[in-house]
Chain A
Amino acid sequence: MSRATLAKKNALPLKEAGLFKELLSQYENRLLKKGLKTAEQILKKFPEHGETLCMKGLLLTHMGRREEGIDLVKKGIRFDLTSHICWHVFGLIQKADKNYEEALRSYTQALRFDSENINLLRDSAQLQTQLRLFDNLVETRHHLLRLRPNLRQNWVALAVAYHLNGNLDEAKRVIEQYLYSLKNVPNYDVELSETLLYYVNILEQSGDLSGALSELDTKSKSRAIVDRTAVLTTRARLLTKLASPEAGDSWKALIDHNPDNLESYRGYLADQGVSLDDPTSALEAIPHLKAFAKTYPKASVPVRLQLTILPASDPEFSTLITNYLERALKKGVPSIFADLKALYSDLEKRKIVETIAENIKQQNFAAVEEKPSKVDEQKEPTTYLWTLYFLAQHYSYVPPSTTVVPNHKLALEYVNNALSHTPTLPELYLLKGRILKRGGDFLGAASAMNEARILDGQDRFLNTKAGKYLLRAGMVEEASRLFGMFTKKDAESPGHDLEDMQSLLFLLEEGDAFKRVGKPNLALKRYMAVKKIFDTIEDDQFDFHGYNLRKFTLNVYLTLLTWEDTLRSHPGYVNAAIKASNIFVEVSDDPSIVKALTTTDHLSDAEKKARKKAKKAAVKAQEDKKSTQTSNADKELEAPPPKDDDPEGLKLIASTDGLEQAAKLLQPLTKLAPKNIDVWLAIHDVAIRRKKLLQAVGALHKAASLDAEHPELHIRLVDLKQRGKTFSDLPAPVNSTFTEELEKLIPEAASQSLENYNAQYLQRHSAESRCILAAAKVAKSLSGSVQDVENIVFNVFGPEVSLDIKTALSALSLLVSLSSQRKDEFRAAAQKHFEFSTAFKAPSELEEMHKYVLAESTADGKPASAESTTPEKK
């Protein structure tokens, strides 16, 4: 902070002015307590000295007395509205609060009274970048460069500002001027190398391809550019864009540099006029790939690509896949199935792979079963094992958008067979767990995962999987105990550490588990924790707005900005946003959910005790944290994180602005995940409850354009039609547009008899279980007759219907919610349909079974609950 301009109406006498200077330097040196004393010394004589009040307030905010501090700062500003120090302090606090808009406003005020203050300008530039106010950014960077033209980073900073603002010509001009002015740069200077690569990037983007190429070539030859990977990649890209005859060789050079990078092959082939996305054109790639496979026998890409391209009917495919598979199984490559399953969208290829693998199994069977003397040298027992492992995966896997019926029973047989030969291989238990999960036995699955974990207790991968499967089985506490084996011991709980470490996987899985076991408050809490992680990551870029410019790592910085701009398209965020918004919607429809959660009457004594204990522990942990933090306060400027006063998420779920929060969560997804139908459905659900009719119907239009027959859309359309009648109090134009738009989605004629409309839908999709379920739900809302619903729901067991576990479970919970008499009949039918499943057992039965999941192996070496799922037998 500049200390120059004190000589105004608020000037202090000499002694105090000296003290104030001291105060500033004490703050800068993080001497908080001393600073506070100095401030108080000044205030004793001049209690209304604004700048001192502000400084004192600032110090307090760093010492854990936030509220008080902020009040003082505000008071200080009132006493001295024209002090840049006062506004700067206010800006600093707002910035620390991540309140970037307000902070920028304060900085702008401060600059009015001290327009050449470098610190203020630099901070403003960072704020403007964070807020993507690029016009203003250019201005600020210009100003900084005028004030300090000797500072090299000010030049690149201005160039980057122009670049971000879309003015490539100016960006180029500034960088050129800067490069021209550079003298005496040593060879192998990484900063210069990065700056030159940035310059090449600007040239390329502004369309000057040959300029970019010649700059790249001369500067890499003179060794001013030292990043070889970047040179090769950029060169190949530029030559291709220029359609130069050298392009092919440049891609070859890149392949030679790293023969495992698919993109280089793509680039090479594209340059040869071959497009991998067009099946007939792709065939022309084969001779090229063959040549590469010869040159780089260790690289897998050239062979693997041929497998994708060659048609199943081509004998070459069979030869190639046979070798490929045989080699992998002999070597014992565990990931070979994961690698090959992408081929399965072509069912013929799937069949060929199956035949080959079964053959390999037959051939190697001897190695295991027959006496050693007879065993063919070539045949290895481990090959047999890996083949069983491969085939088990094969039979239980359903390639997306195919009608393959999985054979979990056969898969289990294979895996158990493999296990009886080698009971110590964790992979086999992992697979067994996955098969059982697919078959609906979530408990047996968790148990198998736990067996795998026990076999290699040091491996966190196995631990994570076992924990995840326990969560899937609804055993939240047991999962937490497992996770705790690898989380920090001084964390408040394993979950807290995983949240601190930003584990989306954990938060989403635990959230889902809480939702399943009827704790929507905690589920919501976890989903919102995911949102907070994304907020944090968005804030994380802030410091890099200054840092990367100082380090001259400019290209990667621009990548960072783009990445941050599309951050929330991440599936973790999308998932959490939709699920959180669903809970907000449910609560808004049925406030009694919250009431049931907050009254403790229904809790057993034990549960009440546990709650009390947890509360106490949480308070204590907070206090422990606090005491260590205050002792560090003098060294660290980070304010302690505010303590969580809602660990159970009960206040959160009771928020009166739940729907507004939901709308905010979903808002970024309209641009970042517009192809996801669930996003539009969720947006509709929130909008209609907020009486934003046009937004609601608009969202359904988007959904319909993605999949007009989607079961969830069907439910909403009928619902909206019914609701439509109750919106008469809205302004006429809105109402008529709404009606018109709705009409396009569901014709007026249909609404004469929505029952008919529903029946037609059911008829159109009589073999799709999700559609049957949707029709049942619609019937419920139309007639309310339990019998109607039951009649429809039981169609899911029809012979042509493909039914999956998830849909069956939703159907069951629909029946349960209606207190249907036929729910047990449904359980039994589902049990018959999904042989291994435990998911349809009654809750009381399941609870009993939980006990066996983590039990150590029984005497016969089999995990306790995976084989026979009925505990009574034990």
Chain B
Amino acid sequence: MGMQACNLQNLPENYALRFWLYHLMTWPQISFVAEDAKGQIVGYVLAKIEHPSEDDKEAHVHGHVNSISVLRSYRRLGLANKLMLLAQEAMTSIYHAEYCSLHVRRSNRAAIGLYRDSLGFEVAKVEKGYYGDGEDAFSMRLNLQNKNGFIN
């Protein structure tokens, strides 16, 4: 619920709790939260794994970041960066994800800075009018296989 509350304060794309539960119950290992000293959630990353087709399992497994945000008063501390790294590591070591994908608003400078400059994502394509209000999305990707390698 803390993740949900944090999301509602930060982003226009919101979901009912059921949606959050569904992700946590299916892929409990790849979503993370950041807490302040009192245990209040101040940032989160919510992620999922996609297996595109049943018969071709190993080839295309990839992770997808649904939502990430950090409360404004806790930004620029490196929290989002850390959360992303934890999620990426879990995607690779547990699910053998080949790459990690996500969508971001074309105008979201902070997020694009995080994905591209800090984490090394690249724009895979532009999706016109992806968001509810008509804004374009960058569909971004990060290859996980040669970057992190296998930990274990």
Q: How far is the CA of A502 from the CA of B129 in the complex (A)?
A: 26
Which one of B9, B26, B108, B132 lies within 8 Å of A461 (CB-CB)?
B9
Q: How far is the CA of A304 from the CA of B100 in the complex (A)?
A: 33
With contacts A229-B90, A464-B9, A557-B25 known, is A501 near B37, CB below 8 A? no
The 6 A-B pairs with the shortest beta carbon distances in the complex, nearest first, are A556-B28, A461-B72, A501-B14, A486-B12, A540-B18, A464-B9
Distance in angstroms from A311 CB to nearest chain B CB is 19
With contacts A228-B152, A551-B26 known, is A501 near B8, CB below 8 A? yes
Among B18, B93, B107: residue with most chain A CB under 10 A: B18
Among B29, B74, B108: residue with most chain A CB under 10 A: B29
Q: Is B95 an interface residue (CB 8 A)?
A: yes
Which residues of B are found within 8 Å of A192, using beta-carbon distances? none
Query: B25, A537: Cβ atoms under 8 Å?
Result: no
Query: B77, A560: Cβ atoms under 8 Å?
Result: no
Query: A548, B25: Cβ atoms under 8 Å?
Result: yes
Q: How far is the CA of A523 from the CA of B17 in the complex (A)?
A: 23
Which one of B16, B29, B86 lies within 8 Å of A230 (CB-CB)?
B29
Q: How far is the CA of A553 from the CA of B78 in the complex (A)?
A: 31
Which residues of A are found within 8 Å of B21, using beta-carbon distances? 540-541, 544, 560
What residue of chain B has the Cβ atom nearest to residue A556's Cβ?
Answer: B28
Q: Is B73 an interface residue (CB 8 A)?
A: yes
Stretch at the interface among A70-78, A331-339, A713-721: A331-339
28 contacts across the A-B interface (CB closer than 8 A): A188-B96, A193-B94, A226-B152, A227-B94, A228-B93, A228-B152, A262-B37, A338-B36, A427-B73, A459-B72, A460-B10, A460-B11, A461-B71, A464-B8, A488-B132, A489-B133, A500-B16, A501-B15, A502-B4, A502-B17, A503-B14, A506-B8, A537-B17, A540-B17, A544-B21, A548-B25, A555-B28, A556-B28
Q: Is B5 an interface residue (CB 8 A)?
A: yes
Beyond A228-B93, A338-B74, list 19 extra A-B contacts (CB 8 Å): A188-B96, A227-B90, A228-B90, A228-B152, A229-B90, A333-B77, A334-B74, A342-B37, A460-B9, A461-B9, A461-B71, A462-B72, A501-B8, A501-B14, A503-B5, A503-B8, A503-B14, A506-B8, A556-B25
Q: How far is the CA of A454 from the CA of B77 in the complex (A)?
A: 24
Query: B72, A547: Cβ atoms under 8 Å?
Result: no
Q: Is B75 an interface residue (CB 8 A)?
A: yes
Count B interface residues, CB 8 Å: 43
With contacts A228-B93, A228-B152, A548-B25 known, is A334 near B16, CB below 8 A? no
Which residues of A are found within 8 Å of B71, using beta-carbon distances? 461
Distance in angstroms from B92 CB to nearest chain A CB is 10
B5-50 with Cβ < 8 A to chain A? 5, 8-12, 14-18, 21, 24-26, 28-29, 36-38
Which one of A334, A458, A544 lies within 8 Å of B75 (CB-CB)?
A334
Q: Is A570 an interface residue (CB 8 A)?
A: yes
Which residues of A are found within 8 Å of B26, using beta-carbon distances? 547, 551, 553
Which residues of B are found within 8 Å of A193, using beta-carbon distances? 94
Q: How far is the CA of A551 from the CA of B18 in the complex (A)?
A: 17
Q: For this complex, into which size category does the number of interface residues on chain A fall?
A: 35 or more
Question: Would you give the 0/1 interface string for A469-506, flagging 1 where the beta carbon is closer than 8 Å to chain B?
Answer: 00000000000000000111100000000101111111
Q: Is A609 an interface residue (CB 8 A)?
A: no
A338-357 with Cβ < 8 A to chain B? 338-339, 342
Q: How far is the CA of A227 from the CA of B95 in the complex (A)?
A: 9
Q: Is A722 an interface residue (CB 8 A)?
A: no
Which residues of B are found within 8 Å of A226, using beta-carbon distances? 93-94, 152
Distance in angstroms from A427 CB to nearest chain B CB is 8
Q: How far is the CA of A342 from the CA of B40 in the complex (A)?
A: 14
Please give the residue numbers on chain A whose beta carbons come within 8 Å of chain B beta carbons, in ascending order: 188, 190, 193, 223, 226-230, 258, 260, 262, 298, 332-335, 338-339, 342, 427, 458-462, 464, 486-489, 498, 500-506, 536-537, 540-541, 544, 547-548, 551, 553, 555-557, 560, 570
Q: How far is the CA of A230 from the CA of B94 in the complex (A)?
A: 11
Query: B37, A553: Cβ atoms under 8 Å?
Result: no
What residue of chain B has the Cβ atom nearest to residue A506's Cβ?
Answer: B8
Query: B77, A458: Cβ atoms under 8 Å?
Result: no
Q: How far is the CA of A258 from the CA of B34 in the complex (A)?
A: 12
Which residues of B are found within 8 Å of A551, using beta-carbon distances? 25-26
Which residues of B are found within 8 Å of A547, using beta-carbon distances? 25-26
Distance in angstroms from A498 CB to nearest chain B CB is 8
Which residues of B are found within 8 Å of A560, using beta-carbon distances? 21, 24-25
Query: A338, B73: Cβ atoms under 8 Å?
Result: yes
Distance in angstroms from B29 CB to nearest chain A CB is 5
Q: Is B76 an interface residue (CB 8 A)?
A: yes
Among B8, B15, B16, B76: residue with most chain A CB under 10 A: B8
Q: How far is the CA of A824 from the CA of B73 in the complex (A)?
A: 40
Distance in angstroms from B59 CB to nearest chain A CB is 15
Distance in angstroms from A643 CB to nearest chain B CB is 19
Q: How far is the CA of A863 from the CA of B112 in the complex (A)?
A: 33
Among A486, A503, A504: residue with most chain B CB under 10 A: A486
Distance in angstroms from B140 CB to nearest chain A CB is 19
Which residues of A are found within 8 Å of B75, using beta-carbon distances? 334
Query: A505, B9: Cβ atoms under 8 Å?
Result: yes
Query: A544, B25: Cβ atoms under 8 Å?
Result: yes
What residue of chain B has the Cβ atom nearest to residue A259's Cβ?
Answer: B82
Q: How far is the CA of A188 from the CA of B90 in the complex (A)?
A: 13
Question: Would you give the 0/1 interface string for B80-101, flagging 1 where the beta carbon is closer than 8 Å to chain A?
Answer: 0010001000100111100000
What residue of chain A has the Cβ atom nearest to residue B79's Cβ?
Answer: A260
What residue of chain B has the Cβ atom nearest to residue A308's Cβ?
Answer: B37
Q: How far is the CA of A188 from the CA of B94 in the complex (A)?
A: 7
What residue of chain A has the Cβ atom nearest to residue B35's Cβ?
Answer: A262
Which one of B1, B16, B96 lies within 8 Å of A570 (CB-CB)?
B1
Among B1, B71, B133: residue with most chain A CB under 10 A: B1
Distance in angstroms from B109 CB to nearest chain A CB is 9
Q: How far is the CA of A226 from the CA of B1 in the complex (A)?
A: 27
Query: B9, A501: Cβ atoms under 8 Å?
Result: no
Among A193, A506, A536, A540: residue with most chain B CB under 10 A: A540
Query: B8, A228: Cβ atoms under 8 Å?
Result: no
Query: A229, B29: Cβ atoms under 8 Å?
Result: yes
With contacts A228-B151, A459-B72 known, is A190 near B25, CB below 8 A? no
Query: B94, A553: Cβ atoms under 8 Å?
Result: no
Query: B86, A258: Cβ atoms under 8 Å?
Result: yes
Query: A505, B25: Cβ atoms under 8 Å?
Result: no
Q: How far is the CA of A285 from the CA of B72 in the complex (A)?
A: 33
Query: B94, A505: Cβ atoms under 8 Å?
Result: no
Distance in angstroms from B118 CB to nearest chain A CB is 14
Which residues of A are found within 8 Å of B28, using beta-carbon distances? 553, 555-556
Q: How far is the CA of A230 from the CA of B76 in the complex (A)?
A: 28
Which residues of B are found within 8 Å of A556, using beta-carbon distances? 24-25, 28
Which one of B9, B76, B94 lies within 8 Å of A334 (CB-CB)?
B76
Q: How far is the CA of A226 from the CA of B91 in the complex (A)?
A: 11
Which residues of B are found within 8 Å of A537, using beta-carbon distances? 1, 17
What residue of chain B has the Cβ atom nearest to residue A194's Cβ?
Answer: B28
Query: A505, B5: Cβ atoms under 8 Å?
Result: yes
Which residues of B are found within 8 Å of A334, using beta-carbon distances? 72-76
Query: A339, B94: Cβ atoms under 8 Å?
Result: no
With contacts A502-B16, A556-B24 known, is A489 near B9, CB below 8 A? no
What residue of chain B has the Cβ atom nearest to residue A505's Cβ?
Answer: B5
Which residues of B are found within 8 Å of A223, using beta-carbon distances? 152
